[in-house]
Structure 1
Amino acid sequence: MSEAQGRRRASRQVLLASLWMTLLVLAVKVWIGWVTQSLSLVAESLHTLIDSFSILLSVISISSMGSSGREVWGHGRLEATMALMLVAFLGFACLNLLAISAGQLEAIVSNSPELLSVRINPPLLQVLAVVMAISFCIASFELYQARVLESTALRFNANHLLQDSWLMILVLAGLVGVWRGYTWIDPVLAMVMVVAAAISCWRVFNRQLPSLMRQIAIAPEALAQTIHQVEGITHCYAIQSRGIVGRQVFVEMRLILHPECMGIARTIAERVERVIRERYGPARVVIYIDSNEQKG
């Protein structure tokens, strides 16, 4: 148990560091996008915003494990409200970016004086290249720590940061083209980034949805019946579950073992986790082992 807690603590620290760096990258992208009036860079910043929110949800989820007053592995109303606000903002931003990009393309075709001028220069391109390199470093660091700490949350967020970095390469190449006079690249890339942002948002919420669910996923009686299939368990109680059966279920429980089985408590915990997964599909289980004396 102490080893698992140490891994969760380390994962939380890595996620917090990644969140801080990702927010810094987001601020730089938004600032340069505003200064240069680049629609593609602003649209790509939406990906970084989604990544930041995903990391924040993972931090809250890991921090809530085993803490008093919190539901098991779940997010509260504040996090659900934040998710709804993010979706609303992304919808508004994406629709506006699509409309502006379409208007820009029309202005380019008709040589309209209302055409926005993307003010890009080599120093700004160099800053964006540094930002892109920082994103790659953050993602690589998370991937390495995900293997060391065996953290699915780190692996998931690292993959999304890598996707964001590859998209940034595409935008950087497009801005080089705009600097050389191909102004149509910026609005076209902005449309592509908006579509990619919608897909990225769906993937994040598809991954985080089970932990946002607050209702009981599995009846405690049914879980208790499944758990008692494992030998050596005399009693199980304080059973909680959240999530979606078949997608991802988060389970927490306390077990009392037969005194002769205390030496193989870790093996019994692994068996319990295995039977839950075999019965209900993907599951993440937190088990606390009590002694008969503690129960009494």
Structure 2
Amino acid sequence: MRRLTAETRLHPAELILPLFVREGATEPVPIGSMPGVSQHSLDSLKRVVNDAAEAGVGGLMLFGVPETRDAVGSAATDPDGILNVATRVLADEVGDALVVQTDLCLDEFTDHGHCGVLDDRGHVDNDATLLRYRDMAVAQADAGSQLLGLSGMMDGQVAAVREALDDAGHTDVVILAYAAKYASGFYGPFREAVDSQLSGDRRAYQQDPANRREGLREARLDLEEGADILMVKPALSYLDVLSDVAAISDVPVWAYQVSGEYAMVEAAAANGWIDRNRIIEETLVGAKRAGADAIMTYWATEVAGWLR
């Protein structure tokens, strides 16, 4: 009876698996703060993505971890940079089975760890960063990415990237706008996952956790610029914002169950304090109930297996 009358259901195709690929790695490198998650070599990446495709996962979001970084994130636009090389591998391996997605942000590639290039005062230069994002977008689309995740939170990024893609003939590449991305403490383990060089914080361009209406305003701006999908991030502590955005959006709305959410559940489960599988499902159902059409989660392949 509960199954028959359930108001909210999960499906494997609504789950997206974030993945990390590390330049120079010959085998998976475990991430200490995220038990069960690794930085992958190109070979281990192939195995993981085939498992995800077999489980029916809807998409893969790829993050690159380069060996060398500089002030402008040159490796991000290098066709032979790790993210673009790995994207070609994914497109060849599983591009017909699920959506190959790439993170479009400079933070993994800069030696200062910020999501954009810096001016002579050490502040992120929004407009100069948009020029880098345009080049990144074309490089990622050329490599075979079907969906670009614009996670940098620069003003005007959606319009700039859409124009660059269209000018390059990539009119069918989808733009996922991280519309409401908050300056959250839940990103801690992710910094380890991408070997972030950040000193300080990103509160100058990510949103204040205290502000709900601001998230809605940011979402409307991205819709006006032509976003194909909107993202709310993190998920667990921003379900009100997720619900608000879903109520006004005429495009799909996604949520990102971020590294800190994953780490807390795994740590509590390892201590025997919670029922791990039950909590995982409950958090995913909560995001779906709040309005998420799809969810990025490090448990995507595992949960897809349960659902199937």
**What is the TM-score normalised by the length of structure 1?**
0.28
Which is strand-richer, 1 or 2? 2
Which is helix-richer, 1 or 2? 1
